[in-house]
Chain A
Amino acid sequence: MRFVRRTWAVVRKDVLIERRTKETVNAVVFFSVLLLFVFEFTLGADRERLAAVLPGLLWLAVLLAALLGLGRTFVLERENDCWEALLLTPGDKGAVYVGKLAGNGLLMALVETIVLLLFTLFLNVDVAGALPGLLLVLALGTVGIAAVGTLFGAMTAHVRARELLFPVLLLPALVPVLLAIVRSTEALLAGESLGTVDHWLKLLVAADVIYVVAGLLTFDVLLEG
Chain B
Amino acid sequence: MVAATGPDPVIRVVGVRKVFGLAPVLDGVSLDVHGGETVGLLGPNGTGKTTLLKILATVIRPTRGTARVAGHDCVREPEDVRREVGLLAHESHLYEDLTAMENLVFWQRFAGERVRNDSLRAVLEEVELDHCADLRVRTFSAGMKRRLSLARLCLGRPRVLLLDEPFSSLDQRARKWLEQYLQDFAARGGAILMATHAFGAELDVADRLVILVSGRLIVDAPRGTMTADEIHRFYTLHTEEAS
- From A8, A17, A89, A95, residue with most partner B Cβ within 10 Å: A89
- Residues of A with C-beta under 8 A to B107: 85, 89
Chain A interface mostly: helix
Checking B59, B82, B92, B152 against A90 with a beta-carbon cut-off of 8 angstroms, the contacting residue is B82
Q: Are A80 and B97 in contact, with the CB atoms below 8 A?
A: no
Q: Are A87 and B95 in contact, with the CB atoms below 8 A?
A: no
Contact with B along A14-27 (1 / 0, CB 8 A): 00110011000000
Contact with A along B59-93 (1 / 0, CB 8 A): 10000000000000000001100110101010111
Q: Are A13 and B59 in contact, with the CB atoms below 8 A?
A: no
A76 to B59, CA, bound (A): 19
B-facing residues in A10-53 (Cβ within 8 Å): 10, 12-13, 16-17, 20-21
Checking B57, B82, B96, B106 against A9 with a beta-carbon cut-off of 8 angstroms, the contacting residue is B106
Q: Are B79 and A90 in contact, with the CB atoms below 8 A?
A: yes
Number of residue pairs spanning A and B whose beta carbons lie under 8 angstroms apart: 73
- Residues of A with C-beta under 8 A to B113: 5
Given contacts A88-B57, A88-B82, contact A13 B95 (CB under 8 A): yes
Q: Are A80 and B112 in contact, with the CB atoms below 8 A?
A: no
Closest approach, in angstroms, between the C-beta of B97 and any C-beta of chain A? 5
Contact with B along A63-102 (1 / 0, CB 8 A): 0000000000000100111101111111100010000000
Given contacts A88-B58, A88-B82, A90-B83, contact A81 B93 (CB under 8 A): yes
Q: Are A82 and B110 in contact, with the CB atoms below 8 A?
A: no
Closest approach, in angstroms, between the C-beta of A161 and any C-beta of chain B? 21
A81 to B106, CA, bound (A): 15
Q: Indicate whether B191 reaches chain A with its CB closer than 8 angstroms.
A: no
**A contact residues vs B (CB 8 Å cutoff):** 2-3, 5-6, 8-10, 12-13, 16-17, 20-21, 76, 79-82, 84-91, 95, 224
